[in-house]
Structure 1
Amino acid sequence: MLTIGMVAGELSGDTLGADLIREIKKTHPDARFLGIGGPQMQAEGLTSLYPLERLSLFGLFEVLGRLPELFRIRDGLVETFEQEKIDVFIGVDAPDFNLRLSKKLKDRQQNAENQNLSNSHLIKTVQYVSPSVWAWRQGRVVSIGASVDLVLCLLPFEVDFYTKHDVHAVFVGHPLARLLPLDHQVETGKQELGIAPEQAIIGLLPGSRSSEVAQVGGILLESAGQLLKQFPGLRFMIPAANEARLTQIKALVADQPQAIQQAVQVLEPDDRAMLSGNLGRRVMAASDIVMLASGTATLEALLLGRPMVVVGRVHWLTYLFVRWMIKIPWLSLPNILAGRRLVPELIQSQATVSNVVAEMKNLLSDPHFRLGPWQTQHVELERIHTRLKSENVSSAAEAVLALLPKERVDATV
C-alpha cells in the first residue's frame, strides 16, 4: 500500500491537493494520505494531523511571531512521516514551510545513510506549485534542487527556468484550466446563485487568510461604498472562505455605512462549498467585474474570463524586502502570464480607495460591461486560458508515481 504525505497551507492548495489525491486513487485506490489539508483533501481520504488554518500565513515578517509553532508542526510531521514510512512527500504550495520540511526529510535520510542505519527509509519529495523563484530570490533554486526530487509547475515557462538550473520539473498546469470552459457566461453564474441576469454584480474577494482580509478587506468595502454613490444599481458579493473569515468579514461590513451594508451580500461557507472549495469561484462566475486580493484567486478569475482589479497590501517591511528582491515588473498572475499590464494591479502605496475606484470606473464606463476596457481584458484572458489548457500538460499523478521504485508502484496497483 502506498503511503503519501501531503501538506497544503491554504484553501487554494486544498483544492489542488484534493484533485491530486483523486487522480492517484484512480490507479491506487488503497493509497493512504496523511499530513495537513482542508475539508476537500480530508473528504478525499487525507488524515489531517494539524489544522490547515495554522499554516495560512501571508508575508515574511507576519510569520515571525508564529515561528516556534511552525517549527513544532514541521518537526512533528517529520517524525510521523518517518514512523509511517511514507513513500513520497508532496508539499502543495506554501513553499516557505514545505520546502523546509522537504529539506529536513532529506537531511535526516542523509544522516541515516552516513551512519549506515539499517532502518533508514527513502522518501521522495515533491513541490506542487513552484514558488515564484523566477521572479525574486532566484538564488533559492539551488536550495530547491537540494530539497525536492521534482517540482510540479502550474505555469509553462517555469519548467525552462528549472531546467537551466538542473532541477527536475514538469509542467502539469492548473486543473481548473481543463475543467472550466473557455467562455464561461456570467449569466450562467448568476443563475446558479439565483441572481437576475440584468443585475450588475461586483465580486469582492479579500482573500482566505486573516492577514489578507485585514489588509485588503477595508479597502475593497470602502471602494464599493464610493462606487455605489455613482452607480446605485450595483450589488456586491463577498465569499467567506471559512467560519473564521465569515466573522472577520461581517465585522468589516458592519463598520461601513448603512447603504453599503444593504448592498453587500456575504456568502456563508456551507458544507457543499467547503467540500468543493468553489464558493469564491461561484461568486467570481456570477460577477461582472471582480475586485480581489493579489494571489492565486487571480488565476481563477483569469480562467473564468472575468475583468478584474487586483489589490495587494502586506506589512511594510515585507513589501520593502520583496520589492528589493523582485526581478519582474508585475505581481499578479494575469499580468505575469500576459507579459504586460493586462489588468490593473494596485500594490501597497497604490492600493488606495481613490485608485481602486478610478480603475473600476474605467471598467464600468460601458453600461453593459462588454465593450472597451472590458473586451480588451476578456480577449487576452481567454487566449491565456487556451494556452494553459493546451500546452503539453502532463499528469501530476503520473509524474509523482514515476518517481517511486517500480516494485512499490506495481505492488499497490
Structure 2
Amino acid sequence: MDTSTAPRLAMVAGEASGDLLASLLLQGLRSRWPGLSAGGIGGPKMQAQGFDAWWPSHKLSVFGYVDALRHLPELLAIRRALRQRVLAERPAVFVGIDAPDFNFALERALRAQGVKTVHFVCPSIWAWRGERVKTLAAAADHVLCLFPFEPALLAEHGVPASFVGHPLADLIPLQPPRAAARAALGLDDEATVVALLPGSRRSEITHIAPPLLQAAQDLLRDRPGLRLVLPVVPGLRPLIDEAIARHAPGLPVQLLDGRSHEALAACDLTLIASGTATLEAALFKRPMVVVYRLNAFNHWLMKDKAYLPWFSLPNILLRDLAVPELIQDVATPQAIADAARAWLDDGARRDALHARFTELHLSLRQDTAQCASHAIAQVLGQA
C-alpha cells in the first residue's frame, strides 16, 4: 500500500454521536487524501462517506453496567473478529471514535502488534473516572481532543494530544437558520416550539422519554398553542410510540425521522437528555432543561464518582450552572415543566444565554477536519 497517496484506515464509532463525528472526520481526511479508504464499525453517516461498515455502529449502543453485561458476549465476539481482521489487513492507522469501553482494549491490542492508533474524543477524565488516563496512555499513540483544556491535562500523563476543536462547531452555523428550519418542518413562525430530545440509546428512551413527555403534557395545559417536535433516532420509533401511548396518550407531538438539527434550529426551548445533544443545543444557542435518568443500580454505582458539580457539557464548558440540570429522582415531570416555564417567561435570560453560547461556539470552531487530518498525518510521519 502506498500510504503517501491513499492510506487505508480502520475505524470504530459507536452510537449516533460517534457516527456523526467520524463522518465529518472522513470528509476532512478525503480532502487531504482523495483515495483514502476506511472500514470497521460505523453508522449511516459514515457509510454515506464511502465507509465500509463491517458491523453497524448501533451494535455498540449500550449504556451502563446492566445493559453492557446483557450484551457482553456479542460485544466481545465482535471485538475479537474485528481485531483479527484489522491485524490481517494492517491499515496505516486505527482510529477509535469515542466508545472507550470497547475501543481502549482494541487499541491496546492493535498497538502491541505495531498498528498505529489514534483515539478521537478524550474521555472525560476531568469529570469522572480519572484513572482511565492510564488506560488511554497504553492504548493510543495520539489523542484528538474536542476541548481546549484537554491536551495540557493529557500531557501531564505523557499522552500526546492535539486540540482539534469540535466538528459540530464547524457544521452548525453561528446564526441558527430558525426561519428555514420552521418552514421545512411546517411550523408557524410565531408559534412557541419545544423540542423533546430523550436520547439516542434504547435505555435512555426507556428512562428519560416518559418524564419529558409528561412535562410536555403539563406545559400544554396552560399553553395550548405550544408546538412539540421530537426527533426519532432510526430504528427506535417503536419505543417512542410505546412511550407516548403509555405515558402521554394523545399528546400532539410531531415525530421526525432524525432531523434533530432542524428541530434544534426551529425550537424556542429544548427538553433534552444529557449527552452530545446538549452541546448541539448550545451551538444552536437554544435554552434547555437537561435531564438524565438511568437504571437505579447504574445510578447507585456512578453517583459518587463525579469530580465536577455539573454533568451537562454546556455547564462544564462554561464552568457555571448556565442551564438547569435535573437528574434521577429530581427529574420529575413537574420539575421539568417548571424549569421550562422559567425559560419561556424570561426573554432577558434567554438573550444572555445566547451571548454566552455564541462565545463558546467561536472557541470550539477550529476547522476540526483539517486539524485532525494534520494530526493523523503526523502520526503517519507525513506532516
Equivalent residue, structure 1, for 2:352: 376
Amino acid paired to 2:229: M
Residue 55 (1) aligns with residue 60 (2): yes
Residues 34, 282 of structure 1: CA spacing in aligned structure 2 closer, same or farther, 3 A cutoff? Answer: same
Matches for 1:36-75 after TM superposition, within 5 Å: 36-75=41-80
Deviating more after overlay: 98-107 vs 63-72: 98-107
Equivalent residue, structure 2, for 1:302: 282
Residue 21 (1) aligns with residue 26 (2): yes
- Show structure 2 runs of 5+ residues with no match: 1-5
1:9 corresponds, among 9, 14, 18, to: 14
The superposition leaves residues 149-177 of structure 1 with CA deviations (integer Å, 9 ceiling, x where unpaired) of: 11111111111211111111111111221
Q: After TM superposition, give the deviation of residue 144 of structure 1 in Å.
A: 0.5
Does the 8 Å contact 1:87/1:124 carry over to 2? yes
Q: After TM superposition, give the deviation of residue 188 of structure 1 in Å.
A: 3.2
Equivalent residue, structure 1, for 2:242: 251
How far apart in 2 are the matches of 1:392 and 1:229?
A: 44
Q: After TM superposition, give the deviation of residue 193 of structure 1 in Å.
A: 2.0
The superposition leaves residues 339-390 of structure 1 with CA deviations (integer Å, 9 ceiling, x where unpaired) of: 0100011111211111101101101214xxxx13322322211121122226
Equivalent residue, structure 2, for 1:400: 376
Matches for 1:32-181 after TM superposition, within 5 Å: 32-107=37-112, 109=113, 122-181=114-173
How far apart in 1 are the matches of 2:111 and 2:379?
A: 15
The superposition leaves residues 94-122 of structure 1 with CA deviations (integer Å, 9 ceiling, x where unpaired) of: 11111121012123x1xxxxxxxxxxxx3
Residue 215 (1) aligns with residue 189 (2): no
Percent identity between the two aligned chains: 40
How far apart in 1 are the matches of 2:26 and 2:277?
A: 21
Residue 353 (1) aligns with residue 333 (2): yes
How far apart in 1 are the matches of 2:286 and 2:59?
A: 31
Residue 321 (1) aligns with residue 280 (2): no
Amino acid paired to 2:173: P
Amino acid paired to 1:6: M
TM-score for both structures, normalised by structure 2: 0.94
Give the 3-state SS of the residue equivalent to 1:50 in structure 2.
strand
Residues 337, 180 of structure 1: CA spacing in aligned structure 2 closer, same or farther, 3 A cutoff? Answer: same
The superposition leaves residues 327-346 of structure 1 with CA deviations (integer Å, 9 ceiling, x where unpaired) of: 11111000000101000111
2:272 corresponds, among 286, 292, 295, to: 292
Give the 3-state SS of the residue equivalent to 1:266 in structure 2.
strand
Q: Which runs of 4+ in 1 moved over 6 A?
A: 391-394
- Show structure 1 runs of 5+ residues with no match: 110-121, 270-278
Does the 8 Å contact 1:133/1:140 carry over to 2? yes
2:197 corresponds, among 184, 202, 205, to: 205
How far apart in 2 are the matches of 1:390 and 1:16?
A: 14
Q: After TM superposition, give the deviation of residue 259 of structure 1 in Å.
A: 4.5
| Aligned Cα root-mean-square deviation (Å) | 1.8
1:30 corresponds, among 35, 48, 61, to: 35
Does the 8 Å contact 2:167/2:367 carry over to 1? no
Give the 3-state SS of the residue equivalent to 1:49 in structure 2.
strand
Q: After TM superposition, give the deviation of residue 26 of structure 1 in Å.
A: 1.5
Does the 8 Å contact 1:240/1:246 carry over to 2? yes
TM-score for both structures, normalised by structure 1: 0.88
Does the 8 Å contact 1:62/1:315 carry over to 2? no
Does the 8 Å contact 2:28/2:369 carry over to 1? no
How far apart in 2 are the matches of 1:393 and 1:170?
A: 12
How far apart in 2 are the matches of 1:101 and 1:55?
A: 14
How far apart in 2 are the matches of 1:79 and 1:258?
A: 49
Q: How many residues align?
A: 378
Give the 3-state SS of the residue equivalent to 1:60 in structure 2.
helix
Does the 8 Å contact 1:362/1:373 carry over to 2? no
How far apart in 2 are the matches of 1:256 and 1:324?
A: 31
Q: After TM superposition, give the deviation of residue 257 of structure 1 in Å.
A: 4.7
